[in-house]
Structures are given as structure tokens and as C-alpha cells.
Amino acid sequence: MRGALLMVLLAGPAYADNAPHKEGEYGGVTPGEAPRDAAVKPAKAKRPPPKGTLTWIGFEAKDGGAQVFFQSVAPFELRQRVEGAHLVVDLGLTRLGHNTWRQIDTRFFDNPLSGVVAKAVNATRASKGRPGHAARIEARIAFKNAKDAKEATVRSATEADGLYYAYLSFPEGTAGPATATPAATPTSVEPPEVDETPAPPAP
């Protein structure tokens, strides 16, 4: 599936057009553009969520690499740190929007990532040797191969829809042995040992 494009819509904008599409009609979604479907009348715009809300997480696999983006109604800062086979992204946001807590499973696409999940992290008080921190949203990006775990290249922009996007780009991953699913794993059976000692002559 090299070069295949996947856009996982973990949670679309909280005030986007939620009208149903005709069966078989789906042209994908591009960050910054509202869905276009001539057969569907646009729904009335809903009130945007408050600032500090993570409104959408998206994923795109392309050319063996990957791009993850985070959307909010206003600009926010993010920080990255690597923990084992994960990249932890501290978003400068304070609440999860509709469905943004759901995990994105990216294992079956040609890219170095195996999944993305966001969660709310409670505030902590400072203690000896440990600084406290305010409540925040944290995204954990898992890699298929721990050797590929590294900070992403970051780009941000306010797109044509008036919303702010932070894009994280990852290069092609390290090639590794294919992992078969349990059902497809062949079972190796050793042949039974055969006693080749000639039988004693009959009396």
C-alpha cells in the first residue's frame, strides 16, 4: 500500500456538517477544507468549542512516512519527548473535544506509526525534585519499531476554515521482518522419531 492515502477522522470539527452522505460517496477530507457534497444541504453552523479544546486528530500515510495533525480553534504550542517506542506530545490545550479520546490504529498502513491516542492529564503539585504542571492534553504516538521513535518535524498554520492546525511529519520507517497475524502463523510440526534398530528374529 505504498503511497496509499488514508485520512482517519478520529473526530471532525465539533461544529462540522454531520449530515449523512449517500452510500458509496466519500471523497476524503483535507485539513482546512469543509466537506463538499452537492447532494447534501449544509447544516447550520454550530457554536465553536471554547479555546483550549482539541477538536480533531487526523492521520495521513504517504510515501512510507506519516503525518499526524491536531486541530483547535486557536493557536497552541506543543512540546515533544521520546519515551521508549513512543513520542509523547504535550499539547498546549486543556480539554478533549468530541471523540478525540478515541485511539487511531495505524498498524496496517505503510507508515512507521502503530497508533495515536490523546488523553487528559490532571494537574500536579510540585514536590521535591519534581516540578508541578497544569492540567493538559497529552498525545502518545506509538511506533512499530522502537528504532524509529524520534521527534517529528512540526509545521503549524491557520487554514482556510479559520481553524489552527499543528502538523507532525515522520519519515519512512526502518524496514523490519514482517509480522504475521496469529491466525496466519504456520505451525511447525517435527516428524516423529523412528526407531531404525532391526527387530530381533522370530523364535
What is the model's pLDDT at position 57? Answer: 94
SS3 content of the chain, % helix, strand, coil (to 5): 5, 35, 65
Which amino acid, 136? R
What is the model's pLDDT at position 122? Answer: 79
In this model, does residue 181 exceed pLDDT 70? no
What is the model's pLDDT at position 113? Answer: 96
Q: Characterise 70 by phi-psi region: left (phi > 0), alpha (psi -120 to 50), beta (else).
A: beta
pLDDT band at residue 48 under the 50/70/90 scheme: confident
Residue 33 is classified by DSSP as S
How far out from the chain centre does Cα 107 lie? Answer: 9
Whole-prediction pTM value?
0.65
Average pLDDT over the chain reads 74
Which option is the CATH number for 7-174: 2.60.40, 1.10.287, 3.40.50, 2.20.25? 2.60.40
Residues 6+ apart with CB under 8 A from 56: 9, 10, 11, 12, 13, 69, 70, 71, 97, 100
Q: Which of 19-23, 72-76, 93-97, 144-148 has the lowest mean pLDDT?
A: 19-23
In this model, does residue 63 exceed pLDDT 50? yes
What is the model's pLDDT at position 90? Answer: 95
Residue 182 dihedral angles phi and psi, to the nearest 5°: -55, -40
Considering only residues 186 and 63, tell me which one the structure prediction assigns the higher pLDDT.
63
What is the model's pLDDT at position 118? Answer: 95
pLDDT band at residue 174 under the 50/70/90 scheme: confident
Domain boundaries, the chain: 7-174
Q: How far apart are the first and last CA of the chain?
A: 71
In this model, does residue 46 exceed pLDDT 80? no
If one counts every other C-beta atom within 10 angstroms of the C-beta of residue 184, the result is 7
What is the model's pLDDT at position 45? Answer: 62
In this model, does residue 199 exceed pLDDT 70? no
Residue 9 dihedral angles phi and psi, to the nearest 5°: -100, 85
What is the model's pLDDT at position 189? Answer: 34
**Nearest by Cα to 54 from 9, 15, 16, 101:** 101
